[in-house]
């Protein structure tokens, strides 16, 4: 079902408010949302308050104005063309050819029934910068020629998107695992152990089915100062720091 046009006036009120980024383009009969960086606007299709349609855009009906001089020039160019053969001899093949470009209806008259004549139309777009030349082909290859301002193509920069673009996640700081660290790990009974001067050698999961991923690996392989490896549970790692770093953390007495 076709929605009704907005009647609540919210768009017009927003457009009048200079602090609001909504504006009305009278030429196109459109409401726009200006982009903050000045790179263009988004076209508003619906009123955000009542859900009604924004006013009908004049975008498609805008066409370029033919000056008298240009109309005269095209008139001169085409004045002797009477048949399809004349036109093609003068301009070559048309840019577009519609088999039924024009229908001519002759109303019922003095007992003769109404007749409908479907005429092909050939269009030349390259004869003028501002106008297209339409050649209507009547029976017996007679032609009628008309000029029509080319449509103005208004570049729309961006459609209104309801969903804001997601911010790309900040890259995580990389930890240099080629260096050695003192790695503090939690042990049962609230004990903490430290692996001094150890190196994070790798990570892995235990007894996963072939091809499966745990999401993140369950264990971290530490190369201890003596060169031997130990796998520690990833979750047991409390902190790590450069070898010999003094921990300046204070222990708070329970209250
Ligand atoms: Zn509305």
Domains and CATH numbers, the chain: 10-60 (no CATH), 68-149 (no CATH), 180-241 (2.30.30)
Q: Is the pLDDT of residue 213 over 70?
A: no
Distance 28 CA to ligand 1 centre (A): 19
Percent of the chain with pLDDT over 90: 27
* CA-to-CA separations, 107 to 100, 103, 110, 112, 243, in angstroms, rounded: 19, 13, 10, 9, 101
Confidence (pLDDT) at 3: 64
Confidence (pLDDT) at 224: 94
b vs e for 34-61, b when ≥16 Cβ sit within 10 Å of the residue's Cβ?
eeeeeeebbbbeebeebebebbebebee
Q: Is the pLDDT of residue 4 over 60?
A: yes
Confidence (pLDDT) at 83: 92
Q: Determine the average pLDDT of the residues in 131-142.
A: 88
Distance 138 CA to ligand 1 centre (A): 49
How do residues 13-65 score in pLDDT, each as one tens digit?
Answer: 999 988 888 999 887 888 988 877 777 778 888 888 888 888 888 776 677 77
Distance 56 CA to ligand 1 centre (A): 14
Distance 60 CA to ligand 1 centre (A): 23
Q: Is the pLDDT of residue 160 over 50?
A: no
Confidence (pLDDT) at 161: 44
Task: Identify whether the C-beta of residue 61 lies closer than 8 Å to the C-beta of residue 72.
Answer: no
């Amino acid at each position: 079902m076709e929605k009704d046009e907005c009647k609540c006036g919210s768009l017009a009120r927003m457009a009048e408010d200079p602090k609001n980024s909504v504006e009305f383009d009278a030429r196109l009969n459109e409401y726009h949302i200006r982009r903050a960086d000045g790179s263009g606007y988004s076209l508003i299709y619906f009123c955000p308050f009542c859900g009604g349609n924004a006013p009908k855009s004049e975008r498609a009906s805008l066409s370029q104005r033919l000056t008298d001089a240009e109309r005269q020039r095209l008139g001169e160019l085409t004045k002797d063309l009477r048949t399809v053969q004349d036109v093609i001899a003068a301009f070559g093949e048309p840019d577009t050819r519609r088999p039924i470009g024009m229908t001519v209806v002759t109303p019922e008259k003095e007992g003769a029934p109404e007749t409908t004549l479907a005429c092909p139309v050939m269009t030349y777009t390259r004869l003028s910068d501002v106008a297209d030349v339409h050649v209507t082909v009547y029976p017996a290859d007679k032609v009628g020629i008309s000029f029509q301002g080319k449509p103005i193509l208004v570049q729309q920069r961006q459609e209104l998107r309801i969903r804001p673009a997601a911010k790309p996640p900040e890259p995580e700081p990389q930890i240099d695992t080629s260096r050695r660290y003192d790695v503090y790990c939690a042990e049962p009974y609230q004990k903490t152990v430290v692996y001094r001067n150890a190196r994070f050698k790798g990570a892995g999961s235990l007894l996963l089915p072939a091809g499966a991923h745990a999401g993140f690996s369950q264990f971290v392989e530490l190369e201890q100062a003596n060169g031997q490896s130990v796998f520690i549970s990833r979750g047991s790692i409390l902190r790590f720091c450069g070898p010999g770093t003094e921990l300046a953390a204070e222990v708070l007495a329970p209250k």
